[in-house]
Amino acid sequence: MGTYNIPRNVKGEGRILFIFSIKSLIYSAITALIGLPFYFIFSALNMTVIGIIAVVFFALIGFVIGTFKFPEIAGLKFTKAVGGENIDDIIKRAILFKKKGNKIYLNTKEEEKNG
């Protein structure tokens, strides 16, 4: 008898706590560190709960950036170009585009009216 490999679903094995992938955990941690000064400011004003909410909010933004893909919406023209790509890849590409000082020029043909 021969041996056969049985395919299995390995999609969730790279996840931590069932929701965090390595990338989303890193983005969540970085954005939580960005929200940490808000915690210290609010805790100095005796509003610690609001500071914790601010840190969690920033971490949630990082999780969304690290996890989700940009949706393709049929009614919007620009989403056809980036639909289905990771949000962090889109942000990285936009930052590199601005950093290089690139510009997009559109050549439009205007007809002159001689009358």
Q: What is the pLDDT of residues 8-64, one digit of tens each?
A: 665 555 666 667 778 888 888 999 999 999 999 999 999 999 999 999 999 999 988
At residue 94, does pLDDT exceed 90?
no
Q: What angle do CA 70, 73, 77 make, to 5 degrees?
A: 100
Q: How far apart are the first and last CA of the chain?
A: 89
d(CA 107, CA 95) in angstroms, rounded, equals 25
Best CA proximity match to 67, nearest among 16, 32, 20, 14: 20
Residues 12 and 18 sit within 8 Å (Cβ to Cβ): yes
At residue 71, does pLDDT exceed 80?
no
Residues 69 and 87 sit within 8 Å (Cβ to Cβ): yes
